Amino acid sequence: MEDLYETKFDPETYLNEFYLMTGKNRRFASFMLCQLSQTFSSGKYKGKRLIEIGTGPTIHTLISASAHFEEIVVSDYAEVNRREVEKWLRDEEGCFNWNRHIQFACDVEGRSRTPAVVKETLRQKIKHVLKCDVNLENPFQPLTVEPADCIISSLCLEAACKDREAYRRSLEAVVGLLQPGGVLVMIGDLSETFYTVGDQRFPVVSLSQEFIEDTLCELGMSVQHFNRQKLTNTEDRSDIEANFYLVAHKE
C-alpha cells in the first residue's frame, strides 16, 4: 500500500478534486474547519509542539491550531506530498491556493486574524516536513521526535493500513508520540473501503465509531468529542458513509 502512494498518488489531481471549496467538497471542508475552529478557539489546547501525522499535500487542518502552538511538525509518507507542502511554505509559483480555506476559517473565528497573518504564522511555525510511516512502531524512524502536546491526523490511518489490526497498531504508535495529558484530534471516514483520485483507486480500512472509540480507550485515551457528518452520492469516487471528527485526551 505504501508503494501505491509513492508511485500512483497525484497530489495536484487530489487537491483539485477534493479541495476547491466548491459543491460537495465545500460541505466537507466547512464541517472540518468549523470543528477545528471550535476545538482550538476555546484556548483549552495549546503548548509547545504540534505534530500532524499524514499531512498529505495540504495545510488546511493547521489553520486554527497554528495560533496556539509554538512550533509545528508536519509529516507524510509520500515524497510528492511533502514536496507539495514545501512548495506552499516557500510560496512557490504553482503551489495550491489555500486562500478560500483560510478566509473561511478566519470568518468562523470572528476575524480575529486576517488571512495574511494566518499564512505568515503557518510559514513561520512549521519547522519540519518529515517522512513518516504509521505502520512502524516509531513512525519517524530513524529519527526520534520530541513528544507533542497535540497531534492532528486527518484521513491518514485508514488509508495507510491494510486491516483493522494494522490500524490499531498504527494508532498505538501515534498515541505514543503524545505527551501525557496531550490531545489527539482525528478526522476520518466511516464505513469506507475505497476512494479514487483521477482514475486511480486506493483501498481504505472500513471503520465504525464503536471500533475507533473502543481502540482509543484500550490505548489509554479518553474521547471527549465525536461528531459525524453523513454523506450521500459521492459520484463513485468513494463508498464512504460519513466523515468523523474526534477529540481525545491522553490520560
Does 16 show up as a binding residue in the annotation? Answer: no
Q: In what order do the strands lie in the sheet with 69-76?
A: 126-131, 69-76, 47-53, 148-154, 178-190, 242-250, 221-230
Q: Which three cell numbers stand for residue 230?
A: 453523513
- How far from chain centre, in Å, is Cα 38? 16
Does 174 show up as a binding residue in the annotation? Answer: no
Provide DSSP, 188-241. Answer: EEES--EEEETTEEEE-----HHHHHHHHHHTTEEEEEEEEEE----TTSB---
Does 76 show up as a binding residue in the annotation? Answer: yes
Does 19 show up as a binding residue in the annotation? Answer: yes
246 burial level (CB within 10 Å; 0-12, 13-18, 19+): buried
Does 80 show up as a binding residue in the annotation? Answer: no
Does 133 show up as a binding residue in the annotation? Answer: yes
The beta strand positions in 9-147, using DSSP E, are: 47-53, 69-76, 126-131
Known binding residues are 14, 19, 76, 81, 133-134
Known binding residues for S-adenosyl-L-methionine are 14, 19, 76, 81, 133-134
